[in-house]
Amino acid sequence: MPTSSAKPSLPAVVAEAPLAPPHTGFGDTPIVLPGSVTGRSLTLVVAIMCFLVCLVAGVVYMVRQSADAWVRDIDSEVTVQVQPVGDAAAMDRAVAEVTAYLREQTGVTRVTPMPRDELNALVKPWLGQVANLSALPMPQLIAIEVDRDNPPDFALLGQALSAKFAEASLDDHRRWRRQIRAMTNSLAVGGLVVIILMTLATGAIIVAAARSAMASNREIIEVLHFVGAEEKFIVRQFEWHFLKLGVKAGVVGASCAALIFFVAPHIADFLGGGAATEAEVRRIVGSGSLDLPGYAILVVMVGVIAMLCQLTSRFGVRRILEAQNK
Amino acid sequence: MIRFDKVGLRYAENQQEILSDVSFVLQPGSFHFLTGASGAGKTTLLRLLFLSLRPTRGEAYMFGRNVTKLTLAQRAEMRQRIGIVFQDFLLLDHLTTWENVALPLRVRGGKPAVSSHDVTELLKWVGLSDKMMAYPSVLSGGEKQRAAIARAVVGRPEVLLADEPTGNVDPQMGRRLLRLFIELNRLGTSIVIATHDYQLMSQFPAFPRLQLENGRLHMYERADADLVR
């Protein structure tokens, strides 16, 4: 320690000569320690929230994809119903005439009258065991496959068909399509509401955590004020930790959700559901696993959670600082 | 530079005023001792000057601005022009001495006029060359005080406020620190030193003295005028 009586030269800080330009930083140690801001339990809570958000987003995405596939299938096939007319021979004639007419229409790629056996099999579950099912007067169905790129105008086709054949009517499955759309839209809205609620809950948790971090770092904030730190500098010391927490927890939560989606197709099988159960699940949620855009949604969710952590902590810390200034 | 006009301060509505009708003007480059018995309001007045308290009445102007109407950003900007040494030092325990001293430069960002080399040089000058990488928990009271002083002066403040800056150091180091303050003052920094150290004041009798008695401020043109020991 220089305590000799000889006067040492004064430090440059109080010298009149120009000072040397800065050549290194002023320390890398975090001013606010991470452990005092974000603990493990907070990381776990945010990770669980992110996991649930990703799960909901993924399921909604899968159901929508599946519904789109259904609608595409429905759009590519329509049905013509021919009401019973006379005896079986007359009925066969009527079906043949309608089939011939339909084959001439533009936009129609294939016309297939449904065999009587298949038709009987369709109604059997409702009628039960009937001795002579073929003798019953039943409408005949004709399946029409349409050119997806150049589909016919179904309204016009239906009108023309009914005008030419009084016993024939076209069903373009519009009601089905509407129901599927309504179902998937309801599911999407429900999913969105759940995601918004979980996002709000996560935001509230972060604001509370920011408040607690401010309280436990009160002395540091006081010192930062004393040395002339601007509000944004103080806010940055906290929000940086929350951003890191958001990224870390988001990655963990999204990875767990991705794992669930990866193994989901095998879960029904693993639980002993067998091929039938798996087929039922597939009918509702498609393949049961996400495609690439689906996984991209999970990555986006990580970004959303990280940004949420950063922005809500910024908002929380700023509010507290402003309140302290009043 | 600093003007207080009939400033009063009380901590709560129904309490007695800690400071009453305090009026004074500090010109740029002035040097004042601030004295008074314990509880006379020295620390409170320093806190007012450092903008950590607001007057409950009267008007206070610093650097041409009314300090009662400052935003957070204006307050921070103004504090960058003021250096302060508190009695309880307020060093951050998880930062090294060097990092504590460099903190005012770090929070300012951009390209400060003072370099990290100057921080090192300043620490050497206050006798902490061998404690630069030490944490405050291992520093003695005197060492903490010198680190706090170094932190207060490193940003070349326009006003330096110090609360008993020589209270924990030996007389030789006390004189050395005073010399640092006087050099800063010579370069234009206004200095206010709150102290009980009459021996120190008597060594610099030409500086004016502000004396607080029962919350009221009296000004003496010389440090040794009418000193009641």
What confidence category does residue B147 fall into, taking pLDDT thresholds of 50, 70 and 90? very high
Give the closest-approach CA distance of A51 to chain B in angstroms: 35
| Sequence-separated (6 or more) residues with CB below 8 Å from residue A100 | none
DSSP secondary structure letter of residue A264? H
| Sequence-separated (6 or more) residues with CB below 8 Å from residue A194 | A56
The stretch B101-107 carries a mean pLDDT of 90
| Inter-residue contact A180 to A115 (CB < 8 Å) | no
Residue of B nearest to A16 (CA): B187
Strand, helix or coil for residue B38: coil
Contact yes or no for A26 and B102 at CB 8 A: yes
Give the C-alpha separation, B202 to B194, whole Å.
14
Q: Which residues of chain A neighbour B187 with C-beta distances below 8 Å?
A: 14, 16
Q: Is B113 on the interface with A (CB under 8 A)?
A: yes
Q: Count other C-beta atoms under 10 Å from residue A201's C-beta.
A: 13
Q: Is B185 on the interface with A (CB under 8 A)?
A: no
Q: Is B25 on the interface with A (CB under 8 A)?
A: no
B 36-95 near A (Cβ less than 8 A): 50, 52, 71-73, 75-77, 79-82, 84, 86, 90-92, 94-95
- From A223, A230, A233, residue closest to B90, measured CB to CB: A223
Interface of A with B (CB under 8 A): 1-3, 5, 7-8, 10-14, 16, 19-27, 29, 31, 33, 219-220, 222-231, 233, 321-322, 325
Residue of B nearest to A32 (CA): B94
What pLDDT is attached to residue A300?
A: 94
Q: Is B147 on the interface with A (CB under 8 A)?
A: no
What pLDDT is attached to residue A253?
A: 95
Contact yes or no for A10 and B183 at CB 8 A: yes
Give the C-alpha separation, B133 to A210, whole Å.
31
**Tokens at A79, concatenated:** 């049905």
DSSP-assigned states of every residue in B100-132:
HHHHHHHHH-S--SS-HHHHHHHHHHTT-GGGT
**Tokens at A94, concatenated:** 């009527």
Alpha helices in A173-273 (DSSP H): 174-216, 218-226, 231-270
- From B115, B154, B184, residue closest to A21, measured CB to CB: B115
Contact yes or no for A3 and B172 at CB 8 A: yes
pTM: 0.71
pLDDT in tens, B33-89: 999 888 888 889 999 999 988 899 999 999 989 988 888 888 888 999 999 988 888
Instruction: Going residue by residue through chain A, which has 326 residues, state the pLDDT in tens, using 9 for 90 and above.
Output: 444 444 456 666 665 544 443 445 666 788 888 887 777 888 999 999 999 999 999 988 988 888 888 887 777 788 898 988 877 788 888 899 999 999 988 888 899 998 888 887 877 777 777 767 667 778 888 988 888 788 888 888 888 888 988 888 988 877 788 888 888 889 889 999 999 999 999 999 998 998 888 888 888 988 998 888 988 899 998 999 999 999 999 999 999 999 998 887 777 667 666 555 556 666 666 666 788 999 999 999 999 999 999 999 999 888 888 887 76
What confidence category does residue B23 fall into, taking pLDDT thresholds of 50, 70 and 90? very high
Share of chain A residues as helix, strand and coil, in percent rounded to the nearest 5: 70, 5, 25
DSSP-assigned states of every residue in A11-69:
PGGG-SSPPPPP-S-S--S-SS-GGGT--HHHHHHHHHHHHHHHHHHHHHHHHHHHHHH
**Tokens at A163, concatenated:** 């005008």
Contact yes or no for A10 and B116 at CB 8 A: no
The stretch B130-147 carries a mean pLDDT of 90
ipTM, two decimals: 0.84
Name which of A31, A27, A37, A29 is nearest A241 in CA terms.
Answer: A37
R_g of chain B computed on alpha carbons: 17
What pLDDT is attached to residue A5?
A: 45
Distances (CA, A) of A6 to A9, A163, A181: 10, 119, 91
Residue B113, pLDDT > 80, answer no
Contact yes or no for A26 and B119 at CB 8 A: yes
Name which of B54, B105, B89, B99 is nearest B75 in CA terms.
Answer: B54
Q: Which residues of chain A neighbour B79 with C-beta distances below 8 Å?
A: 225-228
Residue of B nearest to A14 (CA): B184
User: Helices A154-164 & A88-103, crossing angle to 10 degrees?
Assistant: 140
The stretch B156-180 carries a mean pLDDT of 84
- From B94, B118, B183, residue closest to A19, measured CB to CB: B118
Give the C-alpha separation, A76 to A109, whole Å.
10
Pairing of strands B159-163, B190-194: parallel
Q: Is B121 on the interface with A (CB under 8 A)?
A: yes
What confidence category does residue B110 fall into, taking pLDDT thresholds of 50, 70 and 90? low
Q: How high is the mean pLDDT of chain B?
A: 86
